[in-house]
Amino acid sequence: MASINERYAVITGATSGIGYELAKLFAKDGYKLVIVARNQTELDSKASEFYSQYQTEVVTIAKDLSINNSGFDLYDEIKAKGIQVDVLVNNAAQGQYGQFVETDIQRELEMVQLNIVTYLVLTKLFLKEMVARNSGKILQVASIGGKLPGPLTSVYHATKAFIVSHTDALVNELKDTGVTITALLPGPTDTDFFRKAGMENTTMVQEGSLSDPAKVAKDGYEALMSGDASVISGLKNKIQVGMADILPDNVAAKMVEKQMEPSDKGQ
Ligand SMILES: NC(=O)c1ccc[n+]([C@@H]2O[C@H](COP(=O)([O-])OP(=O)(O)OC[C@H]3O[C@@H](n4cnc5c(N)ncnc54)[C@H](OP(=O)(O)O)[C@@H]3O)[C@@H](O)[C@H]2O)c1
């Protein structure tokens, strides 16, 4: 088994928000990093920050993971560098606000590619190696949206439901191996996500209390390291998911719809 200073964690979407906070936790614990996002300047800036703060080696790969085959290309690039991946963090994902009849189908297909297909491809390819070595960990950054109906963000919630369901099944399939997979389910968190998703003016963002991405990342990191199947970050999010489990679907959907309505404060 590689010593901690020779271990690599691959983190998609490590230049901002939850992924950035996760990257810091891995770097602090002595992992070498492969960080992936679209913007090379941001990647370079984060790589030099991680190097100067934690003396950790960082490989940057600029790639748009919403493009067909990008998961396979990323895997090939990492292999070509001779890197053995000990931890995979599938984190890069996007949302899209609006009535499904009005939203842009091309953007939604890109979201399906980014939020589902790329997660699936990277999980498959790295998991094969991990199972062969009987060692490795995968963190799937999902969302409490994966447990809730999502009026006005229907495709986003559906992509996260896919990841939650798939991860639940893999936890069982991997139970007799030395490999673990963990789903992190954050609730609304204070990152750039809402701006990109066109959700900044919703009641949830303007009037709700957003979680600290550093706290969300810490919850995910600890659950990953303990080999837990999943973690919902934050008490109020645990309560919301618990309520949705017992409420009829239409009442749970109404609850989410209210949070998604435009806020007077956001005008
Ligand atoms: N914020 C929330 O309220 C919340 C709640 C529940 C779950 N989550 C989940 O948490 C994860 C991280 O989200 P966040 O809130 O931290 O968002 P964020 O601050 O917007 O960060 C997203 C990261 O992903 C990268 N990214 C976005 N699109 C990409 C693409 N097409 N190809 C490659 N990289 C891409 C971004 O860099 P570039 O833009 O430079 O590519 C950035 O590094 C996501 O899975 C999200 O669904 C977030």
- Decide: 146 in ligand 1 pocket, CB within 6 A: no
pLDDT in tens, the chain (267 residues): 555 568 999 999 999 999 999 999 999 999 999 999 999 999 999 999 999 999 999 999 999 999 999 999 999 999 999 999 999 999 999 999 999 999 999 999 999 999 999 999 999 999 999 999 999 999 999 999 999 999 999 999 999 999 999 999 999 999 999 999 999 999 999 999 999 999 999 999 999 999 999 999 999 999 999 999 999 999 999 999 999 999 999 999 999 999 999 998 755
**Contact assessment for residue 12 and residue 37, using Cβ atoms and an 8 Å cutoff:** yes
- Decide: 150 in ligand 1 pocket, CB within 6 A: no
- Decide: 42 in ligand 1 pocket, CB within 6 A: yes
Question: From the alpha carbon of 195, which atom of ligand 1 is closest?
Answer: 20
Question: Which residue out of 34, 113, 115, 189 has the highest number of ligand 1 atoms within 8 Å of its CB and is therefore the one to mutate?
Answer: 189
Q: Looking at the annotation, which residues are catalytic? A: 156
Domain count, the chain: 1
Q: How many Å lie between the centroid of ligand 1 and the Cα of residue 41?
A: 17
Q: How far is CA 89 from CA 32, 104, 107, 122, 204, in A?
A: 13, 28, 23, 9, 27
- Decide: 91 in ligand 1 pocket, CB within 6 A: yes
Q: How much is the pLDDT for 104?
A: 98
What is the rounded CA–CA span in Å between residue 232 and residue 211? 12
Q: How many Å lie between the centroid of ligand 1 and the Cα of residue 79?
A: 24
Q: How much is the pLDDT for 22?
A: 98
- Decide: 196 in ligand 1 pocket, CB within 6 A: yes
Q: How far is CA 133 from CA 78, 86, 116, in A?
A: 17, 10, 26
Q: How many Å lie between the centroid of ligand 1 and the Cα of residue 3?
A: 30
Note down the domain range covering 173.
Answer: 4-266
Q: How much is the pLDDT for 6?
A: 84
Question: Which residue out of 25, 91, 162 has the highest number of ligand 1 atoms within 8 Å of its CB and is therefore the one to mutate?
Answer: 91
H/E segment holding residue 182: strand 179-185
Q: How many Å lie between the centroid of ligand 1 and the Cα of residue 77?
A: 21
* Nearest CA, atom 7, ligand 1: 143
Q: How much is the pLDDT for 264?
A: 82
Q: What is the CATH number of the domain that holds 251?
A: 3.40.50.720
